């Protein structure tokens, strides 16, 4: 037990402890007691009496507390006026605020009839019931215009007195004391005391009291005035920000607008530079904490090849990937840099701060960044200008759905001071504004997409794809046969016609890998296409109305443009190869009839509305398609086009599927058509190879089939690879076919090359350069080795039935190689001739070097320049000439560069 003496002794011996104890436990308490909001004044003003010094200081303290509490201005002034009316023994007091409207000054009642017992609510004048005085009327007006205090013992003798208000309020004003309240030279308000209670008039002492307390009023009003001005300034800033948004309406490209907004406001930001990182929002939210991923990114995770993403995530569970950084450098030479796919060590990202902000959604205000332990800011100058990072303010950009769409980071306030609360507020409203207006995937992006979609759709309509009434008669000749339109016929009547006119699958060879379209008309191919649905036995099973099936396939044939290579023939060939892989290649064993139908349909649709130019060209020519689709530009368009046709009731072959079936076919078409983007081919190669390997571990083929049928992801990967095998299938056709088709592929490439040269004013890559057409055999060999060989080797290993494709591919490799050697020999000969300076003789010798057995056939095709020029007659250049040139965009991966030019 410690007694008082012991405690005292201890405290004496430990003064530091005593002080600490007092500081912690008492000092704050004393102060907070004094400032307690609920603490009422100690002065009793219910009865008038002379103020003691203590009471007066209590009143002063009340006023200080009011100011400190940042009460509503009127409330503070009201409290003061209550005290004043008590101290001056005034019957009532009023406050009139000075203002100007349309350049004319006036005074308006704000606090009216305040006395020591008033309630604030009774005295505060609402804007709709204020009394307004022009400056030339009444004593109030006189005070405001003379800017001097007046003490009037008898108002009836004042020339300025106006009875107006007294009449209005049924009150008799006898004497008054009024004083102007100024802010410097500016008039702010007039305060007035009316009718002295304990005397005939207000005294000199009352004037003294009023003057003394006026200082407080001044202070209160000034605080109010300043915050009002600040408010105006903020609003002005906001107006500026919003007007910057006006420019958005003129443009469609989201990022350009975002950039423009940030650029417009740069002067207000008061910092050396800022950097904006945009987060990848392509993964659309499907649940509270789940986002869909592109199938090609999802497969490796589902196959267990890639661990699930474990890096930082946004609060709502999205992976944090800055797909683009925009740097605004405002010091020295102003500069704006757009960095697509920034490296992790980009100066603005390397510190780790933007990721932290995106992860936590916090505002981070860091001073003296170089000293910061948590983030790793670059300590050395960032560039030659010697600029270093000092103070940093980083904020999340949040859209209306509260999703973090990016991070804005501001560096070094212009005056060298750390960023303060004001900056935080300003930057926060800016980032909020940006998030709401620009990067709102919900509204803006949708609008943007709608606009592009509308353009594209109009384009489609112009091309009037839909099979017309007269056109369907070329297949379903119901007029001639039944004397009526197809929609007036029974299914049996239509079937009767179809049974007659559809080709025999044996004769037409649609079940053969070596199927050749050369001898077929486009209408024949439509009929072959319809026949495939019969062979798959899906027409009756899924209740496809016959008229719809015919219209659909016919419309597909019309949806393909009449261009050199990517025309209906190519579309059909891909559908036919898919059909053959399923039927003849026995891959159907893994898939349901429904899935097979989706796959063949995907094959037929996969290049619809192709323009004869590849994805890179869409980007470089700033085609609206490139703005609509971020990746796999053309493939997404083919898919959308196909799905748009299927949305038409008269073309919807899926119309009698149930919801689940419908979802399945659309899902498979989504994957299958996007999978024809060769840029994605490299992503699925090893996964496919592993499936083939796995199949070899099964001794019993039926067990393997049963296993596979339930493996959704594996089936999707096989299907995606089948699409590639189909798309490239011309390379695995008999040489007579391949040699011709390769030339039409090349011709279309050369046409794109011509466009690049003329429209974009760029040098095309060798593959697209008709001046390098003699390189074709070499390019074909490379294409076979790098891209095709794997596909057909693996498929032949998977299903031996597919070996014919590989055999033909290898044969074609030999043929191309022979041509290549002929050409190389020629070149070598020319080189040699130059060296020996015996040009003519050597050249002749070179020509003779060509392999004798192949010489005749190859001579025709290897006369490089002549063949392509002949093909050029069927140019698609006109088709694409409308494409306007634009600055090329940066392409971030080499893979895209390499493979997009190969997309077939
Ligand atoms: Zn294709």
Tens of pLDDT along 221-266?
776 766 666 655 555 455 444 434 433 333 335 555 566 666 666 6
Residue 445 has pLDDT above 70, yes or no: no
At residue 314, the pLDDT reads: 85
> What distance in angstroms lies between residue 904's CA and the mean position of ligand 1's atoms?
5
CA of 724 to the centre of ligand 1 (A): 9
The predicted pLDDT at position 724 comes to: 96
Quick one: pLDDT at residue 263? Answer: 66
> How many whole angstroms from 280 Cα to the centroid of ligand 1?
29
CA distance 761 to 621: 11
Structure tokens at 281: 């929002």
What pLDDT is recorded for position 524? 94
DSSP type of residue 414: T
476/473 Cα distance (integer angstroms): 5
- Top-confidence residue, 407 or 337: 407
Q: 329-333, 374-378, 747-751: which range is least confident on average?
A: 329-333
Across 275-279, 414-418, 607-611, which has the greatest mean pLDDT? 607-611
Binding-site residue set: 566-570, 606-607, 727, 780
The residue that leads in pLDDT, 734 or 74, is 734
Instruction: Tell me: pLDDT of 866 over 70.
Output: no
The separation between the first and the last C-alpha atoms of the chain, rounded to the nearest angstrom, is 94
Q: For Cα atoms 527, 528, 529, give the angle at the middle one, nearest 5 degrees.
A: 90
Please give the C-alpha separations between residue 152 and each of 136, 147, 174, 176, 211, in angstroms, as whole numbers: 18, 15, 9, 5, 16
Cβ burial, residue 741 (10 Å; 0-12/13-18/19+): buried
Asked whether 372 and 366 are in contact (CB, 8 A), the reply is yes
What pLDDT, on the 0 to 100 scale, is given for residue 861? 38
C-alpha–C-alpha distance, residues 58 and 469, integer Å: 96
Tens-digit pLDDT profile for residues 24-80? 655 545 545 544 545 555 556 666 556 555 666 666 666 666 655 655 678 888 888
Query: Two tokens at 39?
Result: 């603490």
Q: What is the pLDDT of residue 574?
A: 97
**Cβ–Cβ < 8 Å for 358, 404:** yes
Mean pLDDT across the stretch 773-790?
Answer: 92
Among residues 83, 142, 520, 566, the one annotated as catalytic is: 566
pLDDT at 608 over 50: yes
Q: What is the pLDDT of residues 826-845, one digit of tens each?
A: 888 888 888 887 666 656 66
Residues across the chain? 904
Among residues of the chain, what percentage have pLDDT more than 70?
Answer: 75
pLDDT at residue 276 tops 70: yes
What's the pLDDT at 20?
A: 73
Tell me how far the alpha carbon of residue 606 lies from the centroid of ligand 1, in angstroms: 6
Choice among 122-126, 193-197, 578-582 with the minimum mean pLDDT: 122-126
Task: Note the pLDDT of residue 435.
Answer: 61
CA 69 – ligand 1 centroid, Å? 73
452 C-alpha vs ligand 1 centroid, how far in Å? Answer: 24
Give the model's pLDDT for residue 306. 79
CA distance 610 to 876: 11
Q: Is 142 a catalytic residue?
A: no
Residues 6+ apart with CB under 8 A from 224: 73
Measure 543 CA to ligand 1 centroid, in angstroms. 29
Half-sphere exposure in the Cβ direction for 117 (13 Å, CA): 4
Mean pLDDT along residues 652-674: 95
69, 163 in Cβ contact below 8 A?
Answer: no
Distance CA 435, CA 361 (A): 13
Which stretch, 281-290, 345-354, 446-455, 597-606, has highest mean pLDDT? 597-606
Question: Which residues fall in the annotated binding site for Zn(2+)?
Answer: 570, 606-607, 727
- Per DSSP bridges, beta strands 90-101 and 290-291 are unpaired
**Tell me, what's the pLDDT at 241?**
45
Cα–Cα distance, 51 to 166 (Å, whole number): 32
pLDDT at 151 over 80: yes
Report pLDDT for 903.
39
Of the given ranges (234-248, 464-478, 502-516), which has the lowest mean pLDDT? Answer: 234-248
Scan for tokens 């003294």, then name that residue.
Answer: 208
Q: Which residue has the higher pLDDT, 493 or 254?
A: 493
Please compute the mean of the pLDDT values over residues 672-685 and round it to a whole number.
91
Judge contact between 564 and 871, C-beta under 8 A: yes
Residues in the annotated binding site for AMP? 566-570, 607, 727, 780
Which pair of structure tokens corresponds to residue 216?
A: 């407080």
Mean pLDDT value across the chain: 79
Angstrom distance (rounded) from CA 225 to CA 874: 78
Distance 638 CA to ligand 1 centre (A): 10
Mean per-residue pLDDT, 4-24: 74
Look at residue 270 in the predicted model and tell me its pLDDT.
74
């Amino acid at each position: 037990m410690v007694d008082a003496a012991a405690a005292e002794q201890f405290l004496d011996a430990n003064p530091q402890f005593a002080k600490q104890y007092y500081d912690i436990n008492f000092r704050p308490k004393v102060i907070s007691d004094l400032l307690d909001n609920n603490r009422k004044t100690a002065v009793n003003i219910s009865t008038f009496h002379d103020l003691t010094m203590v009471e007066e200081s209590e009143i002063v303290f009340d006023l200080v507390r009011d100011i400190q509490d940042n009460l509503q201005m009127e409330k503070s002034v009201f409290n003061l006026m209550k005290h004043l009316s008590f101290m001056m023994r005034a019957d009532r007091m009023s406050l009139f605020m000075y203002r100007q409207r349309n350049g004319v000054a006036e005074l308006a009642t704000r606090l009216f009839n305040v006395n020591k017992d008033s309630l604030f609510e009774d005295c505060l004048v609402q804007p709709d019931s204020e009394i307004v005085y022009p400056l030339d009327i009444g004593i109030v007006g006189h005070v405001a215009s003379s800017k001097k205090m007046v003490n009037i013992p008898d108002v009836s003798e004042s020339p300025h007195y106006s009875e107006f208000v007294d009449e209005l309020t049924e009150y008799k004003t006898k004497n008054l004391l009024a004083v102007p309240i100024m802010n410097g030279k500016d008039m702010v308000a007039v305060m007035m005391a009316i009718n002295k209670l304990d005397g005939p008039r207000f005294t000199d002492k009352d004037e003294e009291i009023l003057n003394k307390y006026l200082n407080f009023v001044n202070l209160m009003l000034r605080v109010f005035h300043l915050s009002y001005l600040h408010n105006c300034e903020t609003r002005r800033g906001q107006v500026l920000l919003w007007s910057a948004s006006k420019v958005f309406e003129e443009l469609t490209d989201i990022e350009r607008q975002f950039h423009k907004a940030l650029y417009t406001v740069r002067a207000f930001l008061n910092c050396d530079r800022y950097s904006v990182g945009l987060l990848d929002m392509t993964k659309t939210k499907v649940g509270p904490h789940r986002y869909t991923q592109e199938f090609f990114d999802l497969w490796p995770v589902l196959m267990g090849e890639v661990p699930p993403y474990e890096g930082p995530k946004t609060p709502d569970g999205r992976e944090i990937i800055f797909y683009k950084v925009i740097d605004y450098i405002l010091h020295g030479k102003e500069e704006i840099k757009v960095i697509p796919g920034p490296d992790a060590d980009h100066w603005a990202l390397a510190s780790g701060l933007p990721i932290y902000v995106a992860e936590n959604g916090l505002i981070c205000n860091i001073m003296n960044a170089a000293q910061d332990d948590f983030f790793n800011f670059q300590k050395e100058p960032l560039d030659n200008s010697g600029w270093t990072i000092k103070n940093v303010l980083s904020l999340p950009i949040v859209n209306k759905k509260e999703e973090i769409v990016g991070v804005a980071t501001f560096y070094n306030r212009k005056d060298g001071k750390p960023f303060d609360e004001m900056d935080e507020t300003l930057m926060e409203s800016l980032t909020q504004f940006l998030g709401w207006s620009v990067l709102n995937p919900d509204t803006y992006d949708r609008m943007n997409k709608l606009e592009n979609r509308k353009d594209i759709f109009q384009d489609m309509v112009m091309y009037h794809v839909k099979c017309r009434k007269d056109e369907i008669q070329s297949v379903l000749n119901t007029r001639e046969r039944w004397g009526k339109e197809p929609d007036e016929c029974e299914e049996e009547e239509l079937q009767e016609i179809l049974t007659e006119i559809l080709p025999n699958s044996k004769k037409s060879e649609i079940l053969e890998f070596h199927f050749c379209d050369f001898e077929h008309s486009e209408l024949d191919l439509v009929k072959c296409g319809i026949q495939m649905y019969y062979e798959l036995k899906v027409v009756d099973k899924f209740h496809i109305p016959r008229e719809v099936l015919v219209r659909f396939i016919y419309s597909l044939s019309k949806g393909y443009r009449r261009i050199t290579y990517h025309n209906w023939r190519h579309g059909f060939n891909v559908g036919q190869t898919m059909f053959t892989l399923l039927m003849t290649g026995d891959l159907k064993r893994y898939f349901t009839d429904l899935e097979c139908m989706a796959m063949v349909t995907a094959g037929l649709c996969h290049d619809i509305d192709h323009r004869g130019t590849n994805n890179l060209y869409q980007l470089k020519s700033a085609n609206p398609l490139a703005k609509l689709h971020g990746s796999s530009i053309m493939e997404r368009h083919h898919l959308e086009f196909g799905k748009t046709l299927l949305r038409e009731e008269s073309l919807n072959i899926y119309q009698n599927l149930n919801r689940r079936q419908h979802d399945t076919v659309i899902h498979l078409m989504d994957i299958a058509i996007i999978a024809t983007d060769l840029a994605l081919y490299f992503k699925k190669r090893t996964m496919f190879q592993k499936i083939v390997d796995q199949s070899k571990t099964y001794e019993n083929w039926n067990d393997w089939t049963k296993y596979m049928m339930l493996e959704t992801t594996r089936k999707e990967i096989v299907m995606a690879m089948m699409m590639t095998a189909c798309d490239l299938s011309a390379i695995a056709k008999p040489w007579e076919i391949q040699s011709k088709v390769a030339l039409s592929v090349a011709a279309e490439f050369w046409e794109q090359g011509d466009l690049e040269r003329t429209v974009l004013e760029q040098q095309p890559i060798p593959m697209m350069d008709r001046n390098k057409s003699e390189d074709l055999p070499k390019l074909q060999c490379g294409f076979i080795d790098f891209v095709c060989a794997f596909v057909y080797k693996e498929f032949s290993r998977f299903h031996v039935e597919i070996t014919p494709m590989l055999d033909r591919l290898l044969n074609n490799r030999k043929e191309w190689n022979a041509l290549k050697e002929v050409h190389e020999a020629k070149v070598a000969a020319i080189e040699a001739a130059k060296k020996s300076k015996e040009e003519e003789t050597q050249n002749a010798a070179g020509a003779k070097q060509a392999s004798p057995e192949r010489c005749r056939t190859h001579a025709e095709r290897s006369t490089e320049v002549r063949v392509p020029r002949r093909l050029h007659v069927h140019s698609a250049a006109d088709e694409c000439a409308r494409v306007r040139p634009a600055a090329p965009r940066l392409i971030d991966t080499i893979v895209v560069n390499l493979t997009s030019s190969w997309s077939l």
